[in-house]
A and B are shown apart, each in its own frame.
Chain A
Amino acid sequence: MDIRSKDIRYAAGTKIAAVVLVWICFVSAVWSLGFLFLNQEVDKSNSYYDSYRFKDEFSRLIHNTVEANIKLKSIENINASGGTVGDKARNIERYHNIKSRMSNTVNYLYYINNSSTGEAITNVAASQPKELIKKQPVNASISRWNWESKVDIYTYGGEIEEMLRGTEYEVYAAIQEPLKPGDVFYDDFKAYSRTKEIIAFAYPVMFVSLILLIIVAAYLSCVTGRRERGGEIVLSGVDNIYTDVHTLLVLIAAALSLTIAVSSSEPNDILTWVIPLLVLGVDGLIGISYVLSMIRQAKAGRIFKNTLIYNLAKLCFDKNSFKPSIILFLLGYGLINGILFDIGVDLNQGDQEPVFTILLIVFNTAAVYFTARALTSLSKIMNAAKEISSGNLDYELNSSEISVAFSGMATNIANIQGGLKKAVEEAIKGERMKTDLITNVSHDLKTPLTSIISYVDLLKNEELNNERAEEYVNILEEKGARMKQLVEDLVEASKASSGNLPVNAEKVDLHELVLQACGEYEEKITEAELDLRINAEEKNIFVYADGKQMWRIIENLLLNAIKYSMPQSRMYINLTSDSNYGSFTVKNISALPLDIPPEQLTERFVRGDVSRTTEGSGLGLSIAQSLTALQGGKFKIEIDGDLFKVSVDIPLWAE
């Protein structure tokens, strides 16, 4: 039961219902309050005749009656009276106005009697007008001697009294009861009665609404932002608006609604009520959403942190994004500029020396100069970063040329550079250590190998008289030679791949090189029953390379081809060049099927035949590749069925 009630209290449906209820209560409370406030005069008066509207209207009519019948009398009388033409015209117009107004009244009764002449004027048709008037509950009888009225007619009292002074007239006026429809009194009376009825209804509505509002609002402020009792504060989308901005927006909305409400206060119009009610409704929603949002944020303790001002200040004074000094500089710059500009403009109007204008120009020129210097520093730093990223780790950023604003950045870049340099140096050191290790090991292997080779040779020269022993010696000799080759290739491969070989690059003719190399291996090629074809597009292809290393590359390729080519097949060497590279390609047909990917062939110790029984160290292609790379060239192996193709591109010699 407890759990269920908890669920209901924190359920979204309940909250929405509560919001709607609060909204309705708010709207009705404000509406009823406003209504009571606007109609407080009606509320306070006991009856229609007690209301200000009635008193005003009634006393004006008495005034009109007195003015028209006693002061102006008739148009002839006005014309006969002395006075300017203007006065007469005004009086005539006034006379007509009064007459027309009087004729529009139904419920107003009057009777005027001159006690000296017996003259009597009335709008009452009955035979006894004076008595009829006196019988009405609201009546007044006025003369220079007598002032008697059931209601307060002081609005125009002074003027009436003025007009009656020195005359013998007695004025009787009344509003007939009950009121008949057809004039302003009847309409006003109806409106008054309706307002009275609504007031009687508005009070309870107001009280109930207020009480409900307080209760439900208290409930909402407790549960808003929570999914369960004591749970985490869950913020909604509205809460992402900065609180100060939100407040400002709500205030603007309130001001706007007030303006609308005030501007549309045309009485007795349907829109008079509809528009403010609509505005009120919308305001109510905005207000509730705002208040609840504030409550949620207060609960989450971020009402202050979520202000735009706080965030701006944080941004400005957070050391990681901006230095406070820069903000102060900017503010100071604006301030000084403003002051100088103001003073300059003021003084120029007075035709004085434009000292401040010059100061303004000087100040701004200085500002532009320092900014430009700072930007130059930035571009220097960017340039340094570019150099470093392209691998120039020795690029020096002159920190004395960097402005204060970017000195931290420059230091950081220098640190990154240092770190990188250290890493690269360590990598190089590691690689060198590896090469050194291999070299040292190979030295240690070479000494015993010397003995082995020497003694095998000595043994070979001995008379063994034993066929098997001779065969064994031959095997030993062959393996000794192989081991020698292996050790030498191992050192070379490790040096080539670690870039630990000096490159003495010069102008080398690829064509010459290929002919020389083929000359060296002529016999071996013939021995292997291969038909070598050299195709050259041009006679000389000059490349920028180390001739000795080029020889090692081509030698390895030739040896490879001789070793693995199918006997009685053709082997091609093509020489070509393009705009950047001179290339030679060695093509041969493999004796054995090649079922390994080309890239694996250049891995150390990988050979086309997995059994590793034939001569060779398996390092030839790897060495050739490393040496090519060392000279800025490109090494590519292609295998197409049994066609084995290696191409080596070397940068062309540039004069």
Chain B
Amino acid sequence: MDKLNVLVCDDDKAIVDALEIYLKQENYGVVRAYNGKQALKALSEQQIHLILLDVMMPELDGLSATIKIREEQNIPIIILSAKSEDTDKIAGLNFGADDYVTKPFSPLELMARVKSQMRRYTTLGSMPQKSSVLKTGSLELDEEAKELRVDGEIIRLTATEYGIMLFLMENMGHVFSIDQIYEKVWNEPLYSAENTVAVHIRRIREKIEINPREPKYLKVVWGIGYKIERY
């Protein structure tokens, strides 16, 4: 199998250099570009499996480049941007990006995201779908095997954690309060002000999310409850 190629596109050469080092450590091939136009050119010339794209660049900015790329190709695009507002993130994702990472990012987190996207792009889709599997994005819960997988990797969960995940994934997209989750999973009503459920959910997030503070699957709806996002 050929090396998987990652196109790194940022007008800051130092960042491109650093990313190249990290990517090469993970055994990816690296193609460099310093603006949107160069990125498009590289795409047309070489086989690229994932793109890391800065937003604010000369010549052609990242968002416009995303739109252009999406006209032809379906490869994963992770946007790197100094803009950290929700509106910027939503815009980026709406234009067709698969992920949005704000600068300054932690290199390890970024690598985890790259790996996640790459796995999804290269391996998923070919997997046979079982009826006993609950699935959202690349999060899968196999009721038969009693397993939780993220990007194909099995996550080790305690019985309670598995119970919580099972309940939430059976009702994907629904928001449940701490009370409801406790009653359902522990099978007894919650009397005192306890944050047991919250602690468990935090631990699950640390296991399944790349950045537990900005979860992709197990989301906190503040003051209302928790839910599993449907993708």
Contact = CB atoms under 8 A, between A and B. Distances in A.
A543 B224 CA distance: 11
22 contacts: A447-B82, A449-B104, A450-B15, A450-B105, A451-B14, A454-B19, A454-B22, A458-B21, A488-B84, A506-B224, A509-B224, A511-B193, A512-B224, A516-B220, A516-B222, A519-B195, A519-B197, A519-B202, A520-B202, A522-B195, A522-B199, A539-B179
B114 to A, nearest CB: 14
Contacts of B223: 508-510, 512-513, 516, 543, 545, 547, 550-551
A432 interface: no
B198 A520 contact: yes
Contacts of B22: 454, 458
B225 interface: yes
Interface residues of A, number: 45
Contacts of B82: 442-444, 446-447, 450
A519 B198 contact: yes
B12 A453 contact: no
A421 interface: no
A442 B85 CA distance: 12
Contacts of B56: 443
Contacts of B224: 506-509, 512, 547
Given A443-B83, A522-B195, 16 more contacts: A446-B82, A447-B12, A447-B15, A449-B103, A453-B105, A455-B14, A506-B224, A508-B223, A515-B178, A515-B198, A516-B223, A519-B197, A519-B201, A522-B199, A539-B179, A543-B223
A508 B226 CA distance: 13
Interface string B191-214: 001111111111000000000000
Nearest to A525: B195
Interface string A497-531: 00000000011111111111111101000000000
Top 3 nearest A-B pairs (CB, nearest first) are A519-B198, A508-B223, A547-B222
A347 to B, nearest CB: 83
Contacts of B145: none
Given A491-B84, A547-B221, A484 B193 contact: no
A516 B224 CA distance: 9
A520 B206 CA distance: 11
Contacts of B104: 446, 449-450, 452-453, 480, 484
B46 interface: no
B168 to A, nearest CB: 15
A188 interface: no
Given A519-B201, A522-B199, A550-B223, A509 B177 contact: yes
Contacts of B107: 453-454, 457-458
A545 B221 CA distance: 13
Interface residues on B, range: 35 or more
Nearest to B83: A443
B178 A516 contact: yes
Interface of B: 12, 14-15, 18-19, 21-22, 56, 80, 82-84, 102-108, 177-179, 193-202, 220-226
A534 interface: yes
Contacts of A547: 221-224
Interface in A334-349: none
A536 B195 CA distance: 13
Nearest to A552: B222
A534 B223 CA distance: 16
B17 to A, nearest CB: 9
Interface in A194-248: none
Nearest to B54: A447
A454 B18 contact: yes
A451 B18 contact: yes
A457 B104 CA distance: 12
A564 B201 CA distance: 27
A548 interface: yes
Contacts of B198: 515-520, 522
Given A447-B82, A450-B104, A520-B198, A513 B15 contact: no
A514 B106 CA distance: 29
